């Protein structure tokens, strides 16, 4: 059986960055990708805006990905493409990873595994859209693949449900390619995507954004012919009598992303209710020893730059992993905080620069991100505004906090 130090599952931005940093530690690593090409979902994200933090450049998704792929290739990192992981089994000294590809079924052994499997989109059924089952209901990502990879028109006249970033981006993409986007509907009272995307993708093209509205029914036996939209109340329940029928040939959904964690779950990794990804420590190790997670599989990031960054840290940590007793101190999530990643720190690790990512649970102006240890405020940072769609990142020196296993460390926005 082949033996590796690190096996990385997923060849998107997270997998690439973690592979490169793990390789830099001089270890024997392998990346497994189920598609023909590396790059993950960035291959179809042809719009610009990637890499501002990382490269100080406005790159398109493919450019960003290929910069990493070039480094990956230069470093002669081993990759198996068009290869699918069917099972991972935890063993005394690592993991056995079973893969299938055109060559057959292979078992590989590794000391550590990094899950860089990205996320998937919520579907029409998961948000309880009812009515018939015609063709013409697409998630935004599927529509994006049809347009940008296959050069095919998925719609001539559509509405978009959900104001997540991919939905907004697709509103602009479809408009540029000649389709009519009759409107973007969002059940929440505020947009889910970045403010700049509302402006440059909708306002620039006079695409109306209808907040507090949702799609309640679809029509059509073969191809979609119309949708019914309704206003929703503060609990996002449709209000009777506000139904409106809109004729269109497609309904495009941008209603949320869910980290892909089926492999993590089969290994018994604990998941976080809020992030829907595995809980991890500051080394990106999950509750399973030797199993790491990064990128959108860990929690859905709004910027690929952050994905690359935490993946690189995960890669380094996995490469240097030595089995030992873990001394984890768990974080408490206090008021106004939706979530924080990581959820704990390894007290034996270097705590001089701990990266934390967080989202607020609501829109706040002028509040402070605060860390309390045993009730005393040890860190605070004021933010002019905080919104749930906009993830924040901080690097904090936690050595100063003098933490031990009995410390109580709480994060909040006050």
What residues between 153 and 172 interact with another protein by CB under 8 A? 153-156
- Tell me how far apart the alpha carbons of residues 14 and 116 are, in angstroms, rounded to a whole number: 6
**86 near another protein, judged by CB under 8 A:** yes
Residues in a beta bridge with 184:
160, 209
Q: Which residue lies nearer to another protein by CB, 27 or 173?
A: 173
**388 near another protein, judged by CB under 8 A:** no
Helix (H) or strand (E) holding 136: none
| φ/ψ of residue 284, rounded to 5 | 65, 25
**120 near another protein, judged by CB under 8 A:** yes
Q: Which stretch binds another protein (CB under 8 A): 5-13, 40-48, 322-330, 351-359?
A: 40-48
Q: Which residue lies nearer to another protein by CB, 173 or 316?
A: 173
Q: Which residue lies nearer to another protein by CB, 85 or 318?
A: 85
Strands 180-186 and 209-211, sheet pairing: parallel
**How many residues contact another protein, by CB under 8 A?**
74
Within 293-312, which residues bind another protein (CB under 8 A)? 302-303
**43 near another protein, judged by CB under 8 A:** yes
Q: Is 19 exposed, middle or buried (0-12, 13-18, 19+ CB in 10 A)?
A: buried
**196 near another protein, judged by CB under 8 A:** yes
In this structure, the dihedral spanned by the alpha carbons of residues 42, 48, 52 and 56, taken in order and rounded to 10 degrees, is 110
**236 near another protein, judged by CB under 8 A:** no
- Tell me how far apart the alpha carbons of residues 1 and 108 are, in angstroms, rounded to a whole number: 6
- Tell me how far apart the alpha carbons of residues 243 and 174 are, in angstroms, rounded to a whole number: 26
Min separation Cβ 48 and another protein, Å: 5
**390 near another protein, judged by CB under 8 A:** yes
Cβ neighbours for 322, distance < 8 A, ≥ 6 positions apart: none
**23 near another protein, judged by CB under 8 A:** no
- Tell me how far apart the alpha carbons of residues 317 and 373 are, in angstroms, rounded to a whole number: 26
Among 2, 3, 24, 37, binds another protein (CB under 8 A): 37
**374 near another protein, judged by CB under 8 A:** no
């Amino acid at each position: 059986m082949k033996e590796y130090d690190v096996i990385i599952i997923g060849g998107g931005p997270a997998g690439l960055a973690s592979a490169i940093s793990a390789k830099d530690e001089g270890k024997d690593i392998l990346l497994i990708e189920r598609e023909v090409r590396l790059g993950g979902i960035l291959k179809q994200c042809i719009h610009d805006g990637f890499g501002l933090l990382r490269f100080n450049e406005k790159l398109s998704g493919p450019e960003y990905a290929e910069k990493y792929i070039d480094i990956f290739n230069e470093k002669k990192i081993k990759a198996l493409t068009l290869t699918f992981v069917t099972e991972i089994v935890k063993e005394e000294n690592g993991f056995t990873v079973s893969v299938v590809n055109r060559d057959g079924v292979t078992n590989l052994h590794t000391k550590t595994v990094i899950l860089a499997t990205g996320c998937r989109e919520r579907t029409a059924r998961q948000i309880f859209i009812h009515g018939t089952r015609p063709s013409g209901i697409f998630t935004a990502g599927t529509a994006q693949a049809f347009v940008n990879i296959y050069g095919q028109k998925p719609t001539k006249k559509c509405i978009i449900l959900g104001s997540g970033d991919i939905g907004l981006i697709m509103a602009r993409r479809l408009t540029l390619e000649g389709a009519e986007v009759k409107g973007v509907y969002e059940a929440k009272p505020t947009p889910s995507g970045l403010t700049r995307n509302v402006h440059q993708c909708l306002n620039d093209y006079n695409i109306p954004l209808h907040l507090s509205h949702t799609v309640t029914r679809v029509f059509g036996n073969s191809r979609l012919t119309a949708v019914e939209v309704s206003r929703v109340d503060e609990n996002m329940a449709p209000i009777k009598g506000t139904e409106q029928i809109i004729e269109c040939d497609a309904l495009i959904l941008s209603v949320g992303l869910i980290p892909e964690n089926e492999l993590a779950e089969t290994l018994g990794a604990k998941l976080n209710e809020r992030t829907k990804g595995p809980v991890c420590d500051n080394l990106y190790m999950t509750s399973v020893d030797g199993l790491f997670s990064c990128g959108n599989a860990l929690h859905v990031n709004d910027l690929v730059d952050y994905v690359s960054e935490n993946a690189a840290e995960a890669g380094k940590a996995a490469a240097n992993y030595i089995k030992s007793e873990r001394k984890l101190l768990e974080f408490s999530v206090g008021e106004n905080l939706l979530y924080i990643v990581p959820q704990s720190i390894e007290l034996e690790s270097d705590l001089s620069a701990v990266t934390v990512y967080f989202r607020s649970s609501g829109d706040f102006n002028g509040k402070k991100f605060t860390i309390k240890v045993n009730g005393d405020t040890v860190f605070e940072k004021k933010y002019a505004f905080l919104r749930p769609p906009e993830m924040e990142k901080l690097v904090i020196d936690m050595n100063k906090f003098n933490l031990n296993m009995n410390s109580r460390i709480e994060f909040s926005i006050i």
